[in-house]
Amino acid sequence: MTTTPLPGGSPAKPVNRNLLYYARIALTRIGVNGLGLLMLAVFLLPLGYVFATSFKLDSQMTTQGAPLWPAAPSTYNYQGKDYPLYIVPGAGGSTQRLALVNPYRENSDMVDPAHPEKGVFNVTGRWRTWQPLYRFAPTLKNFIDAWEEVNFPRLFTNSLLLAGISTIGTLISCILVAYGFTRFKLPGKNILFIFLISTIVLPPQATIIPLYILFSKLHWTGTWLPLLVPAFFANAYDVFLLRQYFMSIPRELDEAAMLDGAGPLSTLILIIIPQAIPAITAVTIFHFFFVWNQYFEPLVYLLGNEKLYPISVGIGAFVTTYATYPGRSAATAVLAMLLPAVMFFLAQRQFMQGIVVTGVEK
């Protein structure tokens, strides 16, 4: 890199060239980090917005000149009464923080919190043009309102149960199937595997009408069964992830176990599963999130049976009530994303590894 020719840099002054070289490195460093911070700001803007709004009173959203953070007008207690504080422009561009005691049109009676002993005095100027002084004042009102309007404990319980049972079913079935695909020589196995992989691209719309008819015939609609039972019959995505991992486990160990008299099932349980914990963790997390976020299927199959709604369907209506109750909608969104976000922060390594397995090794 030091051999990079620089325009105007004469070979007689090597010191100068070094300076330019280091300046360029410093500039690219600043550029890369600056771009990173800019992109991060763009990506986190919606989150900042929803957190700020969830702790704000709705009245603050419509007030002109109110700050973006949760705030309330600052007041000053003078002789037993609270008066709002304003930033009052004085002579020569200076400003004063004064409390408004008696507002009039062209002038107002004010008191100076720094010198209350001076008493009330009159200031010329329209108080409506002055900037009110705000203090940081987050409110929990939106969360309380949201909690009272929606049965959050029930929605959480439903989502946890649905996601939990579905994940158990997926784990059992996908581990069995992935083991079948990795450790057995079977006729037509490759063709079956191609079929399996091709179901990844299958749009849910192509199957949902016959499934809906089937589940209504079985009187399963309006219950959790249409959402839970298919999970016990494996899915392509998780089988693929587990298969890739199982293939990387050396066969010597399970052959040794087989020689000791272990059957295929005990080999799977005793040898394969303990070595495949990272992949199994990844499948657990992925599937849990998948069910937690599911919206279309529960909406269709639960048929308005509100008692069984998961959180996704239960709070769906809050998207459109945003216009009237922004704070409450925002609080609902915060409550709904809290658990996934915490889970992600705790298990992000397994998360990213699992994505890499399914995406790169395909």
Partner 1 sequence: MSVVTRTRLASAPSRPRITVNTRRQWITGFLFLSPWIFGFFAFQLLPILFTVFLSFTDYKATSEFMPGNFNYVGWENYRYLLIDPQALPSMGVTLKFALIGIPLGLVVPLLLAVLVNDRRLVGSSFFRTLFYLPTVIPIVAGAIIFNGVMNAQSGWLNLVLKALGIADPPRWFTDPTWAGFALNLLAIWAVGNAMVILLAGLQSVPTELYEAATMDGAGPVTRFFYITLPMISPVIFYNLTIGVILAFQYFVPALLIGSANGDPQKSLLFFPMVFYREAFVLSQMGYASVLAMVIFVITMVATGLLFYFGQRLVYYASGDAS
236-265 residues near partner 1, rule: CB under 8 A: 239, 264
| CB atoms inside a 10 Å sphere around CB 275 | 16
Q: Could you tell me which residues come within 8 angstroms of residue 308 by beta carbon, excluding any fewer than 6 positions away?
A: 158, 222, 223, 224, 302
Choices 88-96, 97-105, 125-133, 324-332 (CB under 8 A): range interacting with partner 1? 324-332
Residue 311 touching partner 1 (CB under 8 A): yes
Q: For partner 1, which is the closer residue by CB, 88 or 298?
A: 298
Q: Could you tell me which residues come within 8 angstroms of residue 352 by beta carbon, excluding any fewer than 6 positions away?
A: none
| Distance separating alpha carbons of residues 10 and 24, to the nearest angstrom | 17
Residue 319 touching partner 1 (CB under 8 A): yes
SS3 124: strand
Of 19, 186, 256, 346, the one binding partner 1 (CB under 8 A) is 186
Of 167, 284, 312, 350, the one binding partner 1 (CB under 8 A) is 312
User: CA nearest 229: which of 162, 307, 317?
Assistant: 162
What are 19's two structure tokens? 């300076």
Q: For partner 1, which is the closer residue by CB, 167 or 332?
A: 332
Q: For partner 1, which is the closer residue by CB, 130 or 183?
A: 183
Of 57, 208, 228, 262, the one binding partner 1 (CB under 8 A) is 208
Element holding 77 (H helix, E strand) = strand 75-78
Residue 139 C-beta: closest distance to partner 1, Å: 17
| Distance separating alpha carbons of residues 81 and 77, to the nearest angstrom | 5
123-142 residues near partner 1, rule: CB under 8 A: none
Q: For partner 1, which is the closer residue by CB, 3 or 124?
A: 3
Task: Please state, in angstroms and as integers, the Cα–Cα distance from residue 35 to each residue in 22, 28, 213, 271, following that order.
Answer: 20, 10, 52, 48
279-308 residues near partner 1, rule: CB under 8 A: 289, 292-293, 295-296, 300
| Distance separating alpha carbons of residues 331 and 146, to the nearest angstrom | 7
9-68 residues near partner 1, rule: CB under 8 A: 28-29, 32-33, 35-36, 39-40, 43-50, 53, 61-62, 68
Residue 216 C-beta: closest distance to partner 1, Å: 8
Choices 9-17, 78-86, 88-96, 331-339 (CB under 8 A): range interacting with partner 1? 331-339
